[in-house]
Amino acid sequence: MKIENSEINSYPSKLKRIRVAKGLTQQDLSKLSGINIKSIASYEQTPAKINKASIETVYSIAECLNCNVDDIIEMELFRKV
């Protein structure tokens, strides 16, 4: 998913970039996905943590954001987890 907004692109995590671009708060995403808001905050603050999440969690978040799983996985950090 390509986002063309320099302010949004400055965020460290793909998840936060997409969530903000969709106009959702962490609380909104938590309610929509059923994922604890603390987990969502953790995935955004430490991007490599999304790589440790269950596939069900990642899929649920991606589905709520109307994006692909690989749009929110931090592949460049995968080996650093």
Query: How do residues 13-72 score in pLDDT, each as one tens digit?
Result: 999 999 999 999 999 999 999 999 999 999 999 999 999 999 999 999 999 999 999 999
CATH number, position 59: 1.10.260.40
Q: Into how many domains does the chain fold?
A: 1
Q: Is the pLDDT assigned to residue 2 strictly greater than 90? A: no
Tell me which residue range forms the domain holding 34.
15-80
The set of residues, in sequence order, having a beta carbon less than 8 Å from that of 22 and lying 6+ positions away, is 65, 66
Residue 7 lies in a domain: no
Residue 51 lies in a domain: yes
Q: Which residue has the higher pLDDT, 22 or 12?
A: 22
Residue 55 lies in a domain: yes
Residue 76 lies in a domain: yes
Residue 3 lies in a domain: no
Beta carbons of 33 and 61 less than 8 angstroms apart? yes
Q: Is the pLDDT assigned to residue 6 strictly greater than 70? A: no
